Amino acid sequence: MLFGAHPLFATRLHGYGAWIEPAGTALGLVAGVLLARTPREPRLLWPSLVAYAASLPLAPGAAAIPFLVAAAIVGYHGLDPARLLTKRLLPRFAAFLVPLVAWIVWALVRGDAASYGIGVVPTFLARAALPFGSYDAGGAVLGAGLTAACLAVGLARLRAAPKAAWPLLALGASLVAMALMPAVSPSFTAALAFAALFVAEGIEELFYRFGAIVAMPLTLVVYVALAVQSHITAR
């Protein structure tokens, strides 16, 4: 609900080709779910690869999905990271380099897609965190610092506190993909989804620590504020 009501996502759904990036993000997430199921159902690797390849031209911000699945396995299941490099698991994740490299080469050869650079990250984060105004907080140094902070904290806390660390790591990885992957337009939907998940985990923590009497009013205020702003912005 936080993701769907956010002004950045609501405005993205208006205009020509509004379905393209949300569809690409959905395909990327489906690819991640299927990949996570491959230990019990190895045949799911093929539809996962197809969904991932289809997502890249539509929403390059989803390019980090296989890496995020690997991180989730380490964080949530307590797997030794070294086991990701074994003959059983490494080929499963390395296979996703084929569609990834193919898309990058195709986009560079055609010349109809460009990378928007890490300098777009601060503006995106400012608009995501403070959607009630107009912000232009560009800068490659600041963008690199913010993404590095998300990645570093997410990796450092991944096994100790995965419910908070994994969405933060996913946000950082999707920001890097958004900034550096070839795209026709800035692809921030995947990053926004993970940012909303990170906020949702924080709200859930409030429920555990202080109870519904504190967390529920805050949740309603945030959701209503985002919904109203989305409605005003879309109009």
Where do the structural domains in the chain lie, given as residue ranges?
2-234
Of 13, 228, 23, 230, whose CA–CA distance to 128 is shortest? 230
Which tokens hold the place of 150?
């998300």
The span from the CA of 124 to the CA of 142, in Å, is: 12
* 34 touches 44 (CB < 8 A): yes
pLDDT at residue 223 in the model: 80
Predicted local distance difference test score (pLDDT) of residue 8: 72
- Six-digit token string for 88: 């059983």
Phi-psi region of 75 (alpha: psi -120 to 50; beta: other; left: phi over 0): alpha
Structure tokens at 164: 């908070």
H helical segments located in 86-161: 90-94, 97-110, 121-129, 140-156
Q: Tokens standing for 201?
A: 């985990």
Instruction: Please return the burial class of 17, using the count of CB atoms within 10 Å of its CB with bins 0-12, 13-18 and 19+.
Output: exposed
pLDDT along the chain (235 residues), means of 10: 71 70 90 90 93 92 91 85 82 91 89 79 79 68 90 92 91 90 81 88 86 85 79 65
Angle at 13 between CA 9 and CA 19, to 5 degrees: 115
Q: Which residues, including other chains, have CB under 8 Å from residue 148's CB and lie 6 or more apart?
A: 172
Q: Residue 13: what residue type?
A: L
User: Which pTM value belongs to this model?
Assistant: 0.83
Task: Give the H/E segment covering residue 57.
Answer: helix 45-58
Distance separating alpha carbons of residues 135 and 155, to the nearest angstrom: 29
User: How many angstroms separate the CA atoms of 49 and 35, rounded?
Assistant: 8
Task: State residue 234's pLDDT score.
Answer: 59
Overall size of the chain counted in residues = 235
